[in-house]
């Protein structure tokens, strides 16, 4: 009976050891192919393509030669059937553009927070008026950067084809003219194995 209990404990121990998971760090830039859905590799490819295209477009190079234009980045619209965090795409693109040293940005997502802080500084009576930031002193954006992410999904028997297209534009806010536009296309195909996995 003792041997049987011991054998069960050993078997239970081995079973629990086999169920343990292992977490490791990976290379964030490594190609990710877990499935056909939009992933980190797609985000990185889109951000790199859009930023490189914009920075090397002759009219944009001319406008940034002696000035750092101020840009407002609108959140990218997700026109796919997937839940995609387009804010991450927007963040990656604006980070790369800001780090290029060619542009400055205004953050429209924080307007309400800024307004509350300015109201507090100017109306609460708790802030020294000589240190309070005055209303109406912020710098306006000259350009708006915006875009759309769309997809087409097709499936036939065991093959699934997913096509993504990212389109971005840079608009001059004074004239309404589009100063730059480009697209990045990504196609992913998944073939189910014989076992259906």
Q: What is the pLDDT of residue 86?
A: 86
Q: What is the pLDDT of residue 134?
A: 81
What pTM did the predictor assign?
Answer: 0.74
**Architecture of the CATH domain 37-129+139-191:** 3-Layer(aba) Sandwich (3.40)
Q: What is the pLDDT of residue 168?
A: 95
Q: What is the pLDDT of residue 64?
A: 95
| Cα gap 18→32, rounded to integer Å | 26
| Cα gap 74→14, rounded to integer Å | 54
Domain edges within the chain: 37-129+139-191
Question: Mean pLDDT for each consecutive 10-residue tract of the chain (197 residues)?
Answer: 67 62 69 65 87 95 94 91 86 92 88 84 85 82 94 85 92 96 89 61
Q: What is the pLDDT of residue 158?
A: 82
| Cα gap 115→101, rounded to integer Å | 28
């Amino acid at each position: 009976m003792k041997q049987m209990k011991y054998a069960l404990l050993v078997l239970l121990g081995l079973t629990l050891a086999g169920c343990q998971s292992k977490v490791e760090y990976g290379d964030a830039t490594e190609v990710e192919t877990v499935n056909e859905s939009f992933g980190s590799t797609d985000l990185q490819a889109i951000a790199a393509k859009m930023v490189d295209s914009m920075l090397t477009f002759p009219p944009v190079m001319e406008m940034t030669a002696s000035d750092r234009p101020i840009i407002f980045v609108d959140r990218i619209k997700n026109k796919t059937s997937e839940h995609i965090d387009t804010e991450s795409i927007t963040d990656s693109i604006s980070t790369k553009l800001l780090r290029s040293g060619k542009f400055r940005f205004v953050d429209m997502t924080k307007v309400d927070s800024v307004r509350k802080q300015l109201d507090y500084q100017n109306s609460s009576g708790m802030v020294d008026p000589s240190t309070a930031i005055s209303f109406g002193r912020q710098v306006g954006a000259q350009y708006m950067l915006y875009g759309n992410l769309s997809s087409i999904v097709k499936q036939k028997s065991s093959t699934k084809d997913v096509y993504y297209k990212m389109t971005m534009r840079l608009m001059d806010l004074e004239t309404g003219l589009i100063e730059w536009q480009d697209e990045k296309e990504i196609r992913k195909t998944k073939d189910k194995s014989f076992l259906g996995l």
